[in-house]
Amino acid sequence: MTPHEASQRIDPALSRLVLLTGPSGAGRSTALRAFEDIGFEAIDNMPISLVPRLVAETLDRPLALVVDPRNRDFSVDALLSLVAELGASPRFEFDLVFLDCMVPNLIQRYSETRRRHPLSPEGTAREGITLEARLLQPVRLRADVLIDTSEMTPHDLRARIHDHFAPQSQGGMTLQVESFSYRRGIPAGVDMVFDCRFLNNPHWQPNLRGLDGRDTQVARFVMGDRRFEGFYRRVLDLVESLLPEFAQEGKAQLSIGFGCTGGQHRSVAAAEKLANALAQAGWRVSKRHRELERMAAQAVVTTQT
């Protein structure tokens, strides 16, 4: 039986099992506490060899387990074999959650905490981070849910876990529509990306430069471009035609990204419009504006200093 065939037999009344992994410093402890807050039994640093015995009996509540290279019995091959076994089981709904983070952010976090990296206790944090990223790459590629915590606060990460895994969110695919700046790269884990850089840029309008795409004036300017309506209609038609297919295949979360030069105006306006349309159509949708979140966080730091 394939994992897909097994997933079709999952009884929605049965519990959920989550394996949580990712590089050290990416937020595993924060995420595990978030799972505990929404009713999961949470176990940190779980040996891979003990997981099958732990889940052999019927789970009477959702279970979240952290499995990572700190444990002496950890191996990528063993973890991938375990993931295949759990994913094929009809007894529970299973997800492999991978918390990712860009190397510069991890280095900064280790510098701030002055902790030693578990894979490089006698060396530099950079050496350990690089080694761990290379080691975990096959696991990252297998993840059901990929969360990039590079620009997230602990509050952001807890909110993401809640939105995706809280009991009221179970039983269907959730969508995230986000905006970003191409200068800072495409966000990790985005499934569909649309480029808005061909549209007229509000940045060059002095009265709009300091606003963002959520503002009515900016949205009106962006959507007033004669090319916008055709672009948006094609995007909406494509997304609406694909969402039922992704849901039918059992995809738990789909991320749709809109990018522009600065991530402040055009991509934000387009993301807002699509997110609102999909929510009105009955999909569970969350929004994220990566560059606006970053600017807001910098403003708080500046105010505090």
Q: At what angle do helices 125-142 and 103-113 cross, to 10 degrees?
A: 130
CATH tag, 3-169: 3.40.50.300
Burial class (CB in 10 A: 0-12, 13-18, 19+), 8: exposed
pLDDT tens, position by position, 78-111:
999 999 999 888 888 889 999 988 888 887 777 6
pLDDT tens, position by position, 113-141:
556 666 556 667 777 788 888 888 898 88
pLDDT tens, position by position, 219-264:
999 999 999 999 999 999 999 999 999 888 777 788 999 999 999 9
25 φ/ψ sector (left φ>0, alpha ψ -120 to 50, else beta): left
Burial class (CB in 10 A: 0-12, 13-18, 19+), 130: middle
pTM above 0.85? Answer: no
What's the confidence (pLDDT) of residue 280? 86
What's the confidence (pLDDT) of residue 121? 61
- Per the document, the length of the chain is 305
Domain ranges of the chain: 3-169, 174-304
Alpha helix (H) residue ranges in 88-124: 103-113
